[in-house]
A = this chain, B = another copy of it.
Amino acid sequence: MHFVIKKNELLTGLQQIVRVIPSRTTKPILYGVKIDAEFNRVKMTAYDLEIGLEILIENNDQDQNEVLQVEEPGSTVLNAKFLLEIVRKLPQQLVRFDMKNRIATIQSGAATYTLNGLDSREFPLLPQVDDDEKLSMGCSLFLQAIQKTVYAVATIESRPTLTGVHFRLKEDTLTLTGTDSHRLSNLKISVDTLKEYSFEEAIMPSKTLQELLRILPASEEMVEITLADHQMLIRYDNIHFYSRLIEGTYPDISRIIPESFRTSIQIGTKRLIESIERAALLARENDNHVIRIHLRPSQTEITSTSQELGKVSEVIEPLSFEGEELLLACNARFLLESLRTIDTEDVSIQFTGPGSAFILKPIESDTNHLQLILPVRLNHA
C-alpha cells in the first residue's frame, strides 16, 4: 500500500472516525480504524458493532487540487485515537502512507512514524444494508427533528423500546416520538413521498442519534436514510453512518395526549426559561428537581425551596390566561429541556390539573411539535 494524502482531509475524517471508537472494549481491533486504499479513493472505517462509520476520501473531479494519489492499493488497521494525534501534529500538508509486512510508515516533512498495523481481515464487517429504498430530507431539518425529540427518551433500559426515538412514515408525514413515560415529545414533518417506499416504522437508538447530531453538519444538503431489518444506513456527502435499530413494538401514544384543559397560558419562552433556571438552582438540592408553578389570572409564580439553602420566588406576567387558578409541581430539568427545544418567541402551555400531564406547543410555528410533561405529586397541596 502506498498513497499520498492531504493532511487536512485525513484529519477531518479521523476526527469523525474517533467518535465511534469505543473507549473500552474486549476486542482490541475495535480501537482501530481500517484504512482501505482503493484505486482512486481511501476509505476509513470504524465499527463498534452497534454503530459503524465509513468516511470516503477521494479527489473531487471539479477540483484541480488533488487531495489524494493512490500508488498501490492495500489495507491496514491502525489505532485510531493514536493516529489522530499523530496526524494532528504532522509538520507538513503532504502525508505519505506506506505499508510493508504490516508495518505502516507515515511520513511528513522531516518526521517519520513507523506504526505496527493489525490484520485488516480481522476487522468486523459492516452490516449489509440494501439501499434501494431511501428517504431523503435536508440535513438541517433532520438534525432539528432529532434534537427536538431525543432529549425525552428513557436513559434506563428497563423498557428498551423507550431508549430510542420512534420514526413512523405515513403518506407524506414523518412522525418522530421520544418518551421516557414521564414526558414525551412528538414532532411531525412533511417529506417528499417516495413511491413504493416500504418502510413504516423504526426505533433509532438514542446513542445513534446523539452521534448523528455530532457528526452531521446543519446544512441544507440532503441526507439519505435507508432502513432495513434491524439496521439503518445514513448517507451524507462522504459519510456513511450505520447503526442497529431497536427491536420491539413502540407503545401507542395517541391515547395519552389530553384533549380538554382546565387552564391555558401563553407566555414568553425566554422569560420563562430564565425564571425556571433561577428556581432550578435551589431545586437541584431536592430529589426530583421540584419547582412549583402557581397559575393565577394575571401572574405565573415560580417558586422553589431547599431546606438547607433557602427559597426563591419569581413572578411573570403571562401573555394570556384562560381557565381556573392552579398550583402544580414539576421537575425543573424536564421543563427546561422541553422549553429549550421551542424556537418561537412565545409558548402555549395547557394544563389538565395538578396530577395530569400538561402540554407545551410553540406559538406561530411551521413545525407541528407537541410536548407533554407529567407533574410531580405535591405532598401538601
Chain A residues within 8 Å of B, Cβ to Cβ: 79, 82, 85-86, 89-91, 103-104, 110-116, 274-275, 277-278, 281-282, 308-316
Q: How far is the CB of A169 from the nearest CB of chain B, in Å?
A: 42
> Contacting A113 at CB < 8 Å: which of B86, B111, B312?
B312
| A111 x B309 contact (CB < 8 A) | no
With a cutoff of 8 Å between Cβ atoms, the chain B residues found around residue A310 in the complex are 103-104, 113-116
With a cutoff of 8 Å between Cβ atoms, the chain B residues found around residue A116 in the complex are 308-310
With a cutoff of 8 Å between Cβ atoms, the chain B residues found around residue A309 in the complex are 79, 82, 115-116
Q: How many copies does the complex hold?
A: 2
| A275 x B111 contact (CB < 8 A) | yes
Task: Tell me the nearest residue of chain B to A312, going by C-beta.
Answer: B113
> Contacting A86 at CB < 8 Å: which of B86, B103, B281, B313?
B281
22 A–B contacts from the bound complex (CB under 8 Å): A82-B309, A86-B278, A86-B281, A89-B277, A91-B278, A103-B310, A104-B310, A111-B275, A111-B312, A112-B313, A112-B314, A113-B278, A113-B282, A113-B310, A113-B311, A113-B312, A114-B310, A114-B312, A115-B309, A115-B310, A116-B309, A116-B310
With a cutoff of 8 Å between Cβ atoms, the chain B residues found around residue A312 in the complex are 86, 111-114
With a cutoff of 8 Å between Cβ atoms, the chain B residues found around residue A314 in the complex are 110-112
With a cutoff of 8 Å between Cβ atoms, the chain B residues found around residue A82 in the complex are 281, 309
Q: How far is the CB of A108 from the nearest CB of chain B, in Å?
A: 10
Q: Which one of A103, A278, A308 has the greatest number of beta carbons of chain B within 10 Å? A: A278
With a cutoff of 8 Å between Cβ atoms, the chain B residues found around residue A313 in the complex are 111-112
Q: How far is the CB of A228 from the nearest CB of chain B, in Å?
A: 38
Q: Which one of A85, A86, A111 has the greatest number of beta carbons of chain B within 10 Å? A: A111
| B89 x A281 contact (CB < 8 A) | yes
| B281 x A316 contact (CB < 8 A) | no
| B308 x A111 contact (CB < 8 A) | no
With a cutoff of 8 Å between Cβ atoms, the chain B residues found around residue A115 in the complex are 309-310
Nearest 5 A/B pairs, CB to CB: A115-B310, A114-B311, A111-B314, A113-B312, A114-B310
Taking A85-B281, A91-B278, A111-B278 as known contacts, 12 extra A-B pairs with beta carbons closer than 8 A to each other, sorted by chain A number, are A79-B309, A86-B278, A86-B281, A89-B277, A89-B281, A104-B310, A110-B314, A110-B315, A110-B316, A111-B275, A112-B312, A114-B311
With a cutoff of 8 Å between Cβ atoms, the chain B residues found around residue A277 in the complex are 89
